[in-house]
Amino acid sequence: MLFLITILIIVLDQVSKYVAVKYLKGNSPYIIIKNFFQLHYVENYGAAFGILQNRKIFFVIITSIVIVGIIFFLVKSSYGLNRMMEIALVILLGGSIGNLIDRIRLGYVVDFISVKFGKGYDFPVFNIADMAIVIGTFLIMVMILLNRYEA
């Protein structure tokens, strides 16, 4: 049942990226809230914030190891983790698989969500898989720091 969350994240991620490619690629950004939120097509050949550009094989290997590790951990430890930790792990899993699909299929990750904080800070463009990775990782960190991950 938990893996339905993973599947939902992957489907939402891939459909949104398909729409971004179809309607945003080659066009000017679509402004939703001026000077704050826009949809802007970007091909990310690196990791978060554009670091480690053009390291496709490295990212495919590392992401594959992370995915196998999460699946192994969920299967092996399913009775020892609380429900929130399991949810955090499947959210992280869905985001990881979503971006891995792009890296294998395209050689880069499609990003399209752009947030700006006034004229002072232009946050890096991201996607739904990135949001899932950040949310899942944040939840895992909080539960581990508070020692609240066991059933």
Catalytic machinery residues: 111, 130
- CA 128, 81, 133: angle at the middle one, nearest 5? 15
Single-letter amino acid code for the residue at 58: F
Sequence-separated (6 or more) residues with CB below 8 Å from residue 63: 96, 99, 100, 103
Q: Judging by beta carbons within 10 Å of its beta carbon (0-12, 13-18, 19+), is residue 125 exposed, middle or buried?
A: buried
Say how many C-beta atoms besides its own lie within 10 A of residue 130's C-beta.
20
Structure tokens at 46: 């690196």
Q: Which helix (H) or strand (E) holds 21?
A: helix 3-24
Contact 95, 131 (CB under 8 A): yes
